[in-house]
Amino acid sequence: MSASPLAEPVSAQDHGSATNPGRIGSLLHRYANPGRFLRLSERLSPFLVWPAIVLSVAGMVWGLFLSPADWQQGDAVRIMYVHVPAAWLASLGYAALAVCGVLSLVWRHRLADLAAAEIGPVGASVTFLCLLSGSLWGRPMWGAWWVWDARLTSVLVLFFLYLGHVALIRAFDDPSRGARAAAILAVAGAVDLPIIKFSVQWWNTLHQPDSITLTGAPTMSFSMLWPLLVCTLGFSFAFAAIVNTRLRAAILETRTRQLLLQGARE
Amino acid sequence: MTHLPFIAGAYAATIGVFLILSVSAALRLRAAERRLHAVETRRERVRA
């Protein structure tokens, strides 16, 4: 389907308030127009879908069959190749949700509310996946499906924040009020992200410390690091592709509702 | 392979979650495209 009927004129609202938003602000407001964003999103779609499929399959096959077993954990370490990318995406997804919240609250960005509504359920799903795969890894390694450890508990809190966001955005008759309340929750809940990150340093936890840091060399073998990075990249592309597809659908649904309302008024 | 049920469970859950998310997103997009196309066609017919 051609996107041309969706191209909407750029209104004054799309350019924000009277204050000069600067270069980044201008770029953000440029893509606040749903028609313009939809055209970009359609062009972007194959560049997200194909790397997602190729990298995710390659990373999982590499991790499952070609990477070595750990000398302590044995083959259970292979769960790491799905658990770590899920954990990374759970935090990244919530950071994206918080950014959407700021864009919505400060600039009343039209697409930020739509994007937040689509990121929420996907983020909740990957956080659930992180908890589930962690539990499946913890049972043979720690002898328990769950422990009230700082890292696990803070990720569980993140999962509840996602669920709260999904519920809150749909809790009001007026969608803009729901979006505003959810945006406040998203921004306030972002305080959980540094707690998750530093929980293994601040408290004595059963969960192992980070093996990959920005400042130091990785503490794992490169034969394990490479498949982990490929999986993380593949899952990140998959996350972006799914959110992109859901966002395109949400824009089209909004446009359909607008047309039906216009038709009813005429 | 040691701990096979746990490993298989984790990978099956991952594939399942991503499959459900991607298939439902693709179906929703197709339904939204069709519905918009139908509404636009009806509007054009009414205007004509």
Predicted local distance difference test score (pLDDT) of residue A10? 39
Task: Tell me, yes or no, whether A217 lies in a domain.
Answer: no
Q: Which long-range contacts (CB under 8 A, 24 or more apart) does B3-6 make?
A: B3/A74, B3/A75, B3/A76, B3/A140, B4/A75, B6/A76, B6/A79, B6/A136, B6/A137, B6/A139, B6/A140
Task: Tell me, yes or no, whether A188 lies in a domain.
Answer: yes
Predicted local distance difference test score (pLDDT) of residue B47? 80
**Whether A129 and B14 lie within 8 Å, measured CB to CB:** yes
What domain count does chain A have?
1
Task: Tell me, yes or no, whether A4 lies in a domain.
Answer: no
Partner-chain residue, chosen from B1, B18, B29, that has the shortest CB–CB distance to A238? B18
Other CB atoms within 10 Å distance of the CB of residue A220: 14
Task: Tell me, yes or no, whether A202 lies in a domain.
Answer: yes
Task: Tell me, yes or no, whether A118 lies in a domain.
Answer: yes
Predicted local distance difference test score (pLDDT) of residue A14? 42
> What ipTM score was computed for the predicted complex, to two decimals?
0.93
Task: Tell me, yes or no, whether A35 lies in a domain.
Answer: no
Task: Tell me, yes or no, whether A28 lies in a domain.
Answer: no
Residues of chain B with pLDDT under 50: none
Task: Tell me, yes or no, whether A200 lies in a domain.
Answer: yes
B21 interaction partners in chain A (CB closer than 8 Å): 122, 125, 242
Residue-by-residue pLDDT tens, chain A, 266 positions: 333 344 443 343 444 444 455 666 666 666 677 788 888 999 999 999 999 999 999 999 999 999 998 888 889 999 999 999 999 999 999 999 999 999 999 988 878 999 999 999 999 999 999 999 999 999 999 999 999 999 999 999 999 999 999 999 999 888 889 999 999 999 999 999 999 999 988 888 888 877 777 777 777 788 899 999 999 999 999 999 999 999 999 999 999 999 998 888 77
The answer for A 242-261 residues in CB contact with B (under 8 A) is 242, 245-246, 248-250, 252-253, 255-256, 259-260
Domain range enclosing A132: 41-208+222-261
